[in-house]
Amino acid sequence: MRRGKMQIGLVPSLVVVSMLLGTALAWADTIHENETITTNTTWTAAGNDHIVTGYVQVSSGVTLTIEDGCIVKFDNGASISVYGTLNATGTSSILFTRRDPADEWYGLWFYSGSSGTLEYCTIEYATYSTGYGIYANGAFPTIEHC
């Protein structure tokens, strides 16, 4: 008789735990570590930050779209190198920043033949060598309201 009551009490407990874990996982950050993007990709603002922990490369012929409202945080030495297209177009704000106050991230790098549009973006604390958050070598990204 006691065994039946225990099983009945266990089921609601498991349901509650599953719901809590599911909610926590839904709000987890998205980690990008030494990633080469080879297909058109969109980073969404759906309840999580995008953490760049290493070198992210956007390949030639490929577009990385960063949605309005995204927060992209960089670890020490991390960067995004664009050989294809980077579009970060918002109506409010897209934030590119460091994850930790001690970190020195390397910025957004546009290489010859690449393109991009940055609108309503805040780029802060990118301090590697050039001292700028955006580096363009033979590329001419459109930058407005940043």
Q: In a structure prediction context, what are the per-residue pLDDT tens digits for the chain, which is 146 residues long?
A: 555 555 555 444 433 333 333 333 445 789 999 999 999 999 999 878 999 999 999 999 999 999 999 999 999 999 999 999 999 998 878 999 999 998 889 999 999 999 999 999 999 999 876 668 999 999 999 999 98
Model confidence, pTM: 0.80
Domain boundaries, the chain: 29-144
Contacts of 45 (CB under 8 A, 6+ apart): 67, 68, 69, 70, 71
C-alpha distances in Å from residue 116, one per residue of 25, 86, 95, 129, 141:
32, 5, 16, 22, 5
